[in-house]
A and B are shown apart, each in its own frame.
Chain A
């Protein structure tokens, strides 16, 4: 067992083996390796932190050490007078808008009169050496008047407003069905979800270079370059054309990266000094600077009939948005809409709030909103099963959602929803053997190889969870992407502003072009804001909208390529096909190679992909808000040392609704990564902020899963039911395992210990079984 865990070889499962027999080497369905995989593995891939320009200056940001304070004065004179310091900027030096924000502009570039969270930016310095910049930042004298921080989201409703916009960022009262409906069995629960940090392995870094025309170019690992450019330009007081964001290597993105709060100070300093300026965050600054997952408090009441069919779900969901709104409104919409999970619920009443506090701002993190509610509704399902004396998997099976059912938002599920099939697959998969016969050395006990675990105190538990997420932006957002495909000298180039964050978009783009055009050599151009926008790398958007745009553009090029041939032979282009780099007609009369047909030609086409429109949720939380949904079932097997409360996850069996497998190897890595991120949220990851102050902002205090923590992840089934409205029929794969695995682990710990386990991450005291006296 320990061997398995140590080497962590993913299980070779049935669907994967089948694919291996006839796996294509190019095009869709091929396990094409990522173009930059080798450079990343060898350490030669350039990330933003590696950027360099002749004569560059180094920036440092002064951040608030307090969670809530009034600023009486800021004295920068000592800092500005230090030798080597070239510029010091504060709120008074922001030429354009003084605040920005993705949904509402509520977040100041630099705090002017109030600081609302620990780590809020107050000033920035550019100097000729990084140490000089840091010392100068420390030399800025800020006179604070400390204010009482509001850190409990429940207090935010009655606390004095922390911001002119008030403390309530959004409220959704979802009403669906009959409020008087009652079930024969009622279970209640209170759940708390902690603050997970995206903790990208590379901290934020960037380089800003002033342009001769008075504009500025920002080189950084942005995941949404056009939005970032627009927000930054507004703060610089420049037209967007004079600001260019160039995307450099992204060192891991689990949410938004290098948000405007990072880019704007950088650009301001470059504009002010007329010199290139580099800013590279320390790990501590990284934890203080970027958004986290919303800590959430959930109160649930589930009604069911005697057979275990759900009758009504009542829920109150309170998201702690932190000091600024950011994308909190989207997170709340997802939390409220998926509050009942992938189950048929005839009556649902869900009150959702996201409020402002003096905690660090929450932001977009994979699976936001959906992950928190999944842990809660699955806890309720376990309670219900216990109360009814039913097998937890059986209870879930009696309630699963299917295509044609209604979500509590009143939206009909039109996409494939093979939830029953997913649950069946993980139920049927054989359980891992008990290590009864293995020697103690081979048994990896909770607590690890050198830990204090003792076999006699270990109990095994099995738990299930079903999760769902929406794909693409919701509630009426215009989800458009534009791509250009160009073919010249037998080489195809894709130009699309979709950022490769490691999710594999550039590999997919190459596969799409190979598939459509039969061209082997496909390059993907670097991304900058001179290209038309493709939107953020979030919500599994790029496979859908940007992949769809690349496909359309490639098909237009294909028509241009085949038209002359078709004309020559008097047949329509539809009768010609491209396979393995050869063009053949339906009857086999014509046969030529793509290379020959391309000889001396330069073909290009630009296309857009815009999925069908959605609508915002109305005042009762009703509306067709989502373009598509993806589902996942996970069975967790855990070992718990019930005396110490230490948990080891032994195995996670995953069945996922993927629509269509476009790149098997890449898909498996995405699922494994997602499941592992969820494992962190379930067991160890929680950024603690007592009294609003971030404690232990480093990777020793914030425990990410290591190889030893990560169990065998077995992808037991990939359900390929193509979604007809999605390009290729494929669904996004990264977010839904993150959503589902924490709930599955909690469920398994519940089964092992009999304890309620209503808090994530699971603390040892929640997994201890007290001996009955």
Chain B
């Protein structure tokens, strides 16, 4: 036996369908749903979490795949990072696949799930900026039936999971256009993002959508930079842009996400950012420039 494994989870339920899972959670509201457990069990081992009961979601097959629904993909919350990283998935939603492949070492990717990444809502969660850029919606299942909530509302705290509710699916638009996810870790091996950027092209709406992860509690969307760069792109011809435009986009995104400090008094120069923050801003700028460059090339 290990010395710190909990024996506090007195009740473990292993439902095989979504309805059973909702029923189990409703029956025991203090129970915690667990899928891959890569975040949850680490918290349990550290003694930060002592769940009264666990509802294991690993046997619910309907959550482990995806289906198509009027131009969208309905992704099961139990999709593992390893599954999302495979080429067939990458052909559908390339940025999400790239984020999944970058999400950690193989052991983590084999266990960790899309739904878990969303619910944990760690600032460094790799799938989150991609979902924010895709403007994905969550399909929640609960005792009162299903409802839909934009991912960003949950991450921003505008919407909360009600007792007994589960993230069942993630609805993602299929855009049939290049998407890029880039992350800087400061090392060669797998690591947490220092900053990450997702860039998604939406040719039907003639839009570029961008989200920056890991630098704030939730992904940030530089909306003005998106609109400006979308107006420069020749959507009907070669979509390429001049290198100067890419550089300007990178700087626009970085300055929007990591703004200057307000000046001490009216009319004065703003105080300089600390070196570490400036470095982070440079990193975001480079990532955004490279991501857009790759998406348009």
- Interface of A toward B, CB cutoff 8 Å: 49, 58, 130-131, 134, 205, 278, 280, 282, 284, 444, 446-448, 450-452, 454, 457, 643-646, 648, 683-684, 698, 700, 703, 705-709, 763-765, 768
Contacts and interface: CB of A to CB of B under 8 A. Distances in A.
Contacts of A708: 188-190
Given A447-B185, A646-B184, A707-B189, A768 B279 contact: yes
List the 5 closest A-B pairs by CB distance, nearest first. A706-B189, A450-B102, A708-B189, A452-B182, A280-B3
A454 B276 CA distance: 22
A536 B92 CA distance: 59
Interface residues of B, number: 34
A51 to B, nearest CB: 11
8 contacts: A131-B8, A284-B46, A448-B188, A457-B286, A643-B286, A645-B186, A706-B105, A764-B283
A451 B102 contact: yes
**Residue with the highest number of chain A CB atoms closer than 10 Å, among B4, B46, B290:** B4
B4 A282 contact: yes
Nearest to A285: B4
Given A284-B46, A450-B101, A764-B283, A709 B188 contact: yes
Contacts of B279: 645, 764-765, 768
A448 B104 CA distance: 11
Determine chain A's interface SS by DSSP, over half rule: loop
Contacts of B171: none
A452 B287 contact: yes
B6 interface: yes
B3 A451 contact: no
Given A444-B188, A452-B184, A764-B184, 10 more contacts: A282-B45, A282-B46, A282-B47, A447-B185, A447-B188, A644-B283, A706-B190, A708-B190, A764-B186, A768-B279
B105 A130 contact: no
Nearest to B183: A452
Contacts of B189: 448, 703, 705-709
B47 to A, nearest CB: 7
Interface in B236-288: 275-276, 279, 282-283, 286-287
Nearest to A761: B186
B185 A448 contact: yes
A450 B84 CA distance: 14
B184 A451 contact: yes
A49 B286 contact: no
Contacts of A707: 189
Contacts of B185: 447-448, 451, 646
B187 interface: yes
Interface of B: 3-4, 6-8, 42, 45-47, 98, 101-102, 105, 182-192, 194, 275-276, 279, 282-283, 286-287, 290-291
Nearest to A648: B188
A131 B6 CA distance: 8
A512 B191 CA distance: 44
B136 to A, nearest CB: 21
B188 A765 contact: no
Nearest to A58: B3
Given A130-B4, A644-B283, A765-B276, A450 B187 contact: no
Nearest to A649: B188
A406 to B, nearest CB: 42
A50 B192 CA distance: 32
A231 to B, nearest CB: 25
Nearest to B282: A768
A611 B187 CA distance: 44
A643 B284 CA distance: 11
A648 to B, nearest CB: 5
B178 to A, nearest CB: 16
A684 B186 contact: yes
A705 B190 CA distance: 10
Contacts of B186: 645-646, 684, 763-764
Given A131-B8, A684-B186, A700-B192, A450 B46 contact: no
A280 B290 CA distance: 47
Contacts of A444: 188
Given A450-B102, A643-B286, A130 B188 contact: no
B192 A448 contact: no
Nearest to A282: B4
B8 A448 contact: no
Contacts of A709: 187-189
A58 B3 CA distance: 9
A410 B164 CA distance: 76
A58 B282 CA distance: 51
A49 B3 contact: yes
A450 B6 contact: no
B7 A448 contact: no
